[in-house]
Structure 1
């Protein structure tokens, strides 16, 4: 892969490959068809995950412990040829082990008896329609009348095989395995079908269930943000076994920074026609976004600045004059916008006249890279399947009852333009949507749809705010307070199956690329080679025995005496051939990583012979070294020992070169942040000063809208120096109490959303690591020093109350020196009680507890 997979992507690929392996074995052993789905929110990188799975399917993968399927054939199916083209481009962009020639677009001229192994074929609904050249005969009406339900068997003119013949022949070839991947799997499914309804089934259902003598495709993989329709169709399919779904946790996607954190909705405050007002506001937002991204690129010294786009959404039967007037308004408000910056994606695909402006058509998949397009006029086509990472602003002229189109389009706009979160600046991690024709009540339904999702739209992670106000750093806060804030240790969520050696080599690559440590890769390998040498010295007898077991294959021969009707077993020993040695070496390489295994083999061989002076002796030494590594891999203690050595060096380098890493650009720092997170233990990361954050200023209950209470002395504030916040009774009492303490200066409401400005603490629940984000940080001055108190009001009624408390105790065990106080506060019998987690006896009691209530009720807690 050209990209490093996020941890949730790696987990999803591993689970998908497990399903594919099981389904392949079941098909070839008993012709049993299987299906499963992968669901992930828009922006999670479903195509990248698919690319990693295809690489393993065609070539095998040691990291995922997956053997290649030499007869694998993949059909990638969608209902849009342009969407297929975008997917094909993304697969080429992501994969370095699948050639572009192995990604075949099935055109109308396609004519083969079978699909070729190790290739991905792109098909779409139109290519399988009855009028397509791929299935159509010479006299279509006559053939349809004669064929009835057997239409897939008909032969088109001048063609030896229909596409249905090709599919059938591929399925029936025992050396091939046909996999069907349904992109946007919720579309084209229709309602669940039965055998008696085959004549009415959709094309997708024909592929799944079979039709007209053509069997259903053996292995079906549905990919979508929402897979409910797909799953219902599979459950109603004939004799098809459904495997466990692969579900990507949307919270982990949000943590990754691949999708934007906030959707800002602007609506009129009163009923009336506010088109012009909000169009002007949209132009202002586009201009502000453009300037913000240009300033960020300048600050980072990055020539690849983001060029923001406004999506202008219109009804299916738009008024050209009205659109022209809106464009005039935008240009009047933003005169620096180049004249030829407008394009459309209407289905007509021809130049359109809006007012006095001629606007050209552009293919949707070209919009992202065509940075000359600054305003894109769309109906509803772009809401189904297209991603617009640089789309920062949307103005919708859709009617108030078109909330589905609004929510679907917003789902396409949530990708982060740089595929990472911008530290501390929510302006650059947000998308603006202006709805001049919506009232407040209808917008609430949009918010509900985004937050809950439906069978065509996944719930949107992150925050959705209506008419918010921007908060900026409080000018009264001193530099020393911000320095204390940024020095606080936040924690990352550990990654399942993280390999310390892989983390070390990735770190070495980045350090070398940034000129921080010359030849870092070679130095890392040298340290690990020396560690393996020491292990060999201290485990000589074990390694010798394991090495001999690699070199010989033992077994038993059954000898049957037919006359005496007796059986005896005769043992035998044979020298292992290279295939056996290679297999043992590969198993060892999974523990030591293939890269380190290869370099250690060369290290051992170079101690015996020189490739320049005696090539034959060197080759023999290579074979011997591979046997040694294979034997090493069979020693039980090697993996833990090797991982500890790699982890130790990675930690040392991160500490040693931390100051230099902090001076790099955000893009480069993000690479190191991802490496820090490549660990199976929580890792410490610094907080980042927030430069901008959006907050709502009103709350609506039924038909009544009221202003939120505001608070002073917050680290972030509006122009009036106050911070709006809804606090429950516990939180209000905590804030009021802490603000009265001696030396108090400022407070910070820790965001509950992921980001570098939110302090996170790892905890374990149900054998999985999660992140707790404590509610409050309070800052005080004492003897000229800035001290920090962490106070977390803690609900005891939830099932995760104790695991969170134990995670906080573990954090306090390691980081109590960074705080003056670490307290968890909870209500027991109408009274607030506090546990001081800086006390060892309190932490020990928490770790041994079976419930949280008894802790706050007991003598270890104090009245708050």
Structure 2
């Protein structure tokens, strides 16, 4: 793969490969048909995940412990040709191994079967009645007379014949991938018939052996598949939308601008949209200069017009745009209307641009669209949307915003909430209707389907904000420099991941450190450390290694003998010497545990530079033997883990001088931890916050403001949207002698948010993010930091979070003046100070959070 998969993507790929293995076995062993789906929110990288799956399917994968299927062929089905081409281009960009194995099926396709190790792209339009690929196909109804329709020249069979020949070929498996699966199950009768015919069989073709649906919303696909004949439904693979948001692939904030009064505000808000995209252009240019990037992000303004706009309508749009943006080139405006033809608006030509080309056509700065831009389209550089759709078209707004949610650089910009947001201006929407949009967007409903997706999930709601007319916040000049210095020294921790491989983590870190010149010869040093450790463990576990060697060199088996006419069998055990292929398999097994890189490095270490010290086969046998001793593998992983932590600590300050792009790689490596590990916070640079609170009925009221926050408006204030407990805590702390500043810790996974790891009721690691960080001065003038978290003791996560906070205080308490958890009980706010040993011990022994706050351990806040 050309791309490094995000953690959630790798997990999903592993699960999909497991499903494909089950599906293949069901078909070849029992002749059973099966289906399953991959559900992931828009922007999760579904095509990248599919590319990793296909690459493993064709070539195998050590990372996923997956053996290649030599008879595999993938038939990728999409709704239209442009989506097909876009998917092909994305897969090609993601996987170098698949470059020559991606073929779009044209009308001239003339092969008798699909070739193994190939991905074929097919779309519904090519299979409509009368199409060249289906001309002369058998009727679905056997009682219907077959009309003579000769196949076209140079085509000896229909596409259904090709499918039948492939499915019936010995040792072959045809995997049918249904892209944007919900659409094929939703649209008109013609399209539905085509998809169902492919899946269930028809026109002479058998049913698809394996059906793999990919979509943001697969409910409709799942329901339709239940009606399919004799098809086993395997469990779906579902990607947690909170993990996608946390990855930085999706923008955090959606800013909605809605008129406050009745009237016609089309051109007014359009002009404001132009101003926003011009400002965004300047900010991205500054960011590129700061980061020394050759090509800055080029923001795009998307203008969504009503159905069937007249030339006069479009002329008014262009006039307003050019009045506000006088130096905009004439070729900077394009459209993606369904007409697919160039337009002439007055004296200006507005060319048609295929949706999948918008992202790379950087000379286009303004894009005109009608309804939702075609399914599967996305444009990470789309920063601003102004929509002239009527207010009843909220679904279209959801769909279009879903296409605009990807971050331009596929990563979050540290410390800058404005660059991590998208602007949407809705002149025809009233404030009440917009509340419905906000609620749906908060719950993650930016998918391409308009079906009900449930109530969303708490983590998504915490990580995504919908803002109305926010105020821009910048570093507060009233906050002393000492506070900012201390902020970046405050400890935060990683949230451990499942299935982490410490040796691969060390490999990745060594490569990164070498590339950035932070540890000279890091790769060689890492390999030497692990090879030396293997030498030592080989001696330490000498007897177990000898036994493992015997297992590698011999194959134990049992012979069963029976005689005709007599019951029962006699058994005789025997051993045979393993051949070179068996030894190679044993070596590959060890390489999967120790990593390919370490296995190869240790072979070189044993053989020596002149290959005279040891025979190569003998070196492979030694590696295979060491890999069969679990204690050795676990201890080598511990050595790798220790060296990773050592190097990350050693380079913490130096890494702060790297570009954001390079720091993303270290963030990924830091996140590959098996236990909570210390990381640094990034100081916030630019923020934004609503000035008004909005109720469900659309009414608004001003939010209270407070001074001395790290980020503030030009008057030094910050709007606060807090519940009663949080407001009481904030005001109480602000009145403390020596209070210098405060920070509302973001509830989402950003580098500016302090995280504390805790284990939930199932033993999985989760993140808690305390509400407030306060900075104060002691009598000697030293700036100190306090961590205060108001949290309800009635909530199910109250006790696990308290335990996580206790463990954090145990390790890092000396760097804080106070670490406190506040809760209301009996109408009184009570506080537990986790810097005290006896409080921490009581928290670990407790069975009820409420009892802790009602005990003598807690004091009145």
In the superposition, the TM-score normalised over structure 2's length comes to 0.95
Q: Give the C-alpha shift of residue 380 in structure 1.
A: 2.5
Larger mean CA deviation between 801-810 and 14-23 belongs to 801-810
Match of 1:588 in 2: 590
Distance 1:707 1:200, change over 3 A: closer
For residues 509 and 746 of structure 1, what CA distance do their matches in structure 2 show?
40
For residues 559 and 287 of structure 2, what CA distance do their matches in structure 1 show?
73
Q: 2:509 aligned with 1:507, yes or no?
A: yes
Match of 2:601 among 599, 617, 621: 599
Q: 2:399 aligned with 1:408, yes or no?
A: yes
Show CA shifts across 1:718-739 (max 9, x none): 2222111222221121112111
Q: 2:123 aligned with 1:129, yes or no?
A: no
For residues 636 and 487 of structure 1, what CA distance do their matches in structure 2 show?
39
Report if aligned partners of 2:785, 2:817 keep a CA contact under 8 Å in 1.
yes
Match of 2:162 in 1: 166
Larger mean CA deviation between 587-596 and 760-769 belongs to 760-769
Match of 1:421 among 412, 420, 423: 412
Match of 2:700 in 1: 705
Q: Give the C-alpha shift of residue 144 in structure 1.
A: 7.0
Q: 2:363 aligned with 1:364, yes or no?
A: no
Distance 1:181 1:149, change over 3 A: farther
User: SS at the partner of 2:222?
Assistant: helix
1:349-388 aligned within 5 A: 349-380=340-371, 382-388=373-379
Q: 2:298 aligned with 1:307, yes or no?
A: yes
Match of 1:622 in 2: 616
Q: Give the C-alpha shift of residue 808 in structure 1.
A: 1.3
For residues 606 and 103 of structure 1, what CA distance do their matches in structure 2 show?
42
Distance 1:152 1:700, change over 3 A: farther
Number of aligned residue pairs: give it.
Answer: 846
Show CA shifts across 1:473-511 (max 9, x none): 211011111111121122222221111111111111111
Match of 2:273 among 274, 277, 282: 282
Show CA shifts across 1:537-571 (max 9, x none): 21112111211111011222123344776632222
For residues 150 and 444 of structure 1, what CA distance do their matches in structure 2 show?
57
Match of 2:756 among 748, 761, 778: 761
Report if aligned partners of 2:128, 2:190 keep a CA contact under 8 Å in 1.
no
Larger mean CA deviation between 825-834 and 419-428 belongs to 825-834
Match of 2:785 in 1: 788
Q: Give the C-alpha shift of residue 216 in structure 1.
A: 1.9
1:435-446 aligned within 5 A: 435-446=426-437
Match of 1:672 among 666, 690, 693: 666
For residues 144 and 204 of structure 1, what CA distance do their matches in structure 2 show?
16
For residues 531 and 760 of structure 1, what CA distance do their matches in structure 2 show?
34
Report if aligned partners of 2:785, 2:816 keep a CA contact under 8 Å in 1.
yes
For residues 185 and 123 of structure 1, what CA distance do their matches in structure 2 show?
14
Report if aligned partners of 1:115, 1:167 keep a CA contact under 8 Å in 2.
yes
Distance 1:574 1:796, change over 3 A: same
Distance 1:757 1:332, change over 3 A: same
Match of 2:653 among 650, 659, 674: 659
1:65-464 aligned within 5 A: 65-98=65-98, 100-137=99-136, 156-158=151-153, 159-190=155-186, 201-380=192-371, 382-452=373-443, 453=445, 455-456=449-450, 462-464=464-466
Show CA shifts across 1:377-398 (max 9, x none): 1113525210100000111122
Larger mean CA deviation between 658-667 and 598-607 belongs to 598-607
For residues 493 and 186 of structure 2, what CA distance do their matches in structure 1 show?
45
User: SS at the partner of 1:214?
Assistant: coil
Report if aligned partners of 1:368, 1:390 keep a CA contact under 8 Å in 2.
yes
Q: Give the C-alpha shift of residue 634 in structure 1.
A: 1.1
Report if aligned partners of 1:383, 1:405 keep a CA contact under 8 Å in 2.
no
User: SS at the partner of 1:637?
Assistant: helix
For residues 352 and 503 of structure 1, what CA distance do their matches in structure 2 show?
54
Report if aligned partners of 1:324, 1:356 keep a CA contact under 8 Å in 2.
no
User: SS at the partner of 1:659?
Assistant: helix
Q: 2:522 aligned with 1:520, yes or no?
A: yes
Match of 1:779 in 2: 775
User: SS at the partner of 1:667?
Assistant: helix
User: SS at the partner of 1:318?
Assistant: coil
For residues 709 and 659 of structure 1, what CA distance do their matches in structure 2 show?
38
Match of 2:766 in 1: 770
In the superposition, the TM-score normalised over structure 1's length comes to 0.94
Q: Give the C-alpha shift of residue 451 in structure 1.
A: 3.1
Match of 2:732 in 1: 737
Q: Give the C-alpha shift of residue 166 in structure 1.
A: 1.1
For residues 711 and 434 of structure 2, what CA distance do their matches in structure 1 show?
27
Larger mean CA deviation between 353-362 and 633-642 belongs to 353-362
For residues 562 and 193 of structure 2, what CA distance do their matches in structure 1 show?
59
- Structure 1 unaligned residues grouped into runs of 5+: 193-197
For residues 152 and 809 of structure 1, what CA distance do their matches in structure 2 show?
79
For residues 853 and 372 of structure 2, what CA distance do their matches in structure 1 show?
56
For residues 78 and 344 of structure 2, what CA distance do their matches in structure 1 show?
32
User: SS at the partner of 1:427?
Assistant: coil
1:470-619 aligned within 5 A: 470-562=472-564, 567-606=569-608, 610-611=610-611
Show CA shifts across 1:163-190 (max 9, x none): 1111122222241111111111110203
Larger mean CA deviation between 445-454 and 115-124 belongs to 445-454
Report if aligned partners of 2:47, 2:90 keep a CA contact under 8 Å in 1.
yes
For residues 709 and 144 of structure 2, what CA distance do their matches in structure 1 show?
71
Q: Give the C-alpha shift of residue 153 in structure 1.
A: 11
For residues 69 and 451 of structure 1, what CA distance do their matches in structure 2 show?
42
Match of 1:195 in 2: none
For residues 777 and 154 of structure 1, what CA distance do their matches in structure 2 show?
76
Show CA shifts across 1:336-368 (max 9, x none): 333321111122222212233211121111111
1:840-851 aligned within 5 A: 840-851=837-848
Q: Give the C-alpha shift of residue 335 in structure 1.
A: 2.5
Alignment RMSD? 2.2
For residues 845 and 837 of structure 2, what CA distance do their matches in structure 1 show?
12
1:802-817 aligned within 5 A: 802-817=799-814
Q: Give the C-alpha shift of residue 20 in structure 1.
A: 0.8
User: SS at the partner of 1:784?
Assistant: coil
For residues 850 and 590 of structure 1, what CA distance do their matches in structure 2 show?
42
For residues 754 and 483 of structure 1, what CA distance do their matches in structure 2 show?
22
Q: Give the C-alpha shift of residue 261 in structure 1.
A: 0.6
